[in-house]
Amino acid sequence: MSVPTTATHEGLPVGKLSAYLDWVQMLTGAALILFMWSHLILVSSILLGPKVMNALAWFFEATYMAQVGGPLIFLTFLVHFVLAARKIPFNTKQQRVMLSNAQRLRHPDTWLWVVQAVTAMGILIMGAIHLWVILTNLPITAEKSAARIQSGFWFVFYLFLLPMVELHVGIGFYRILVKWGFVDRPGRWTLKKKENLLTAIFIGIGVLALLRYYFLPLK
C-alpha cells in the first residue's frame, strides 16, 4: 500500500510555496501602489510652480533617495511582475480561453483582472523606458522635464502611460483589499466606486501636470 505524497518544490509543499509567493506579490504590489501615488503627487508639484518641483527634486537627490530608490523600485517592479506573470496567459490559446471565460462569467471583477493583465504588459515596457531616461539624465529639474515633454513624442508617450499606470494601480488596490479579506462582499460596490473616483482624480491631476510641463516657458 503506497503512502500519498505531497508535491514539493525546493523542500516546500507546492501549495505553501504558492501562498508565500502570493504574499510577496501582494507586498510588492502594495509598495508599488504607494510609490506610484507618491510619485504622481511629487511630479504634479509643478502645478505649484517650477521652484517647488525643483526643490523637491533637489531634496531627493541630495539625500540619494533618487539614485538608490530608483533601482530599488525597478527591482521591486520586476519581482512583482515575475510573480504576477505566473497567472498571466502569454500564448494566444490561453488568451482566448481567458477572454472566453470572462465573457461567459460576466463578472466585473474578472474583467478588472483582464484590464490589469493587459496594462501590466504596457507598463513593463514603457515604465522601463521612463526609468532609464530619468536615471541616466540626473539631476531632475522642471526645465528638463518640460523640455522632454515639449518634444512631442514624450507628451504622447505619457498620455498613454499615465492612464495605464493609474488603472493598474487602482485595480490592484481594490483587488488587494478584496482578496486578502480587508473588505467583505457587501462592501465591494462602495469600494469600487471610491476606487474609480480616486483613479479618475489621479488621472486628472496627471493630465494637468503634463499640460503644465508642455506649456512651461523654457529659457
Q: Would you say 9 is a known binding-site residue?
A: no
Looking at residue 14, what is its pLDDT?
Answer: 55
Low-confidence ranges of the chain (pLDDT < 50): 1-5, 9, 12
In terms of Cα–Cα distance, which of 149, 135, 152, 140 is closest to 75? 135
Looking at residue 208, what is its pLDDT?
Answer: 94
Looking at residue 99, what is its pLDDT?
Answer: 59
Looking at residue 3, what is its pLDDT?
Answer: 44
**Domain regions of the chain by residue span:** 12-214
Q: What is the CATH number of domain 12-214?
A: 1.20.1300.10
Q: How far apart are CA 138 and CA 125, in angstroms?
A: 21
Cell of 69: 530608490
Q: H or E segment at 7? A: none
Looking at residue 2, what is its pLDDT?
Answer: 44
In terms of Cα–Cα distance, which of 133, 137, 126 is closest to 61? 137
pTM of the shown model: 0.74
Note the pLDDT tens digit of each residue in 120-176.
888 888 888 888 888 777 778 888 888 889 887 898 999 999 999 988 888 888 888
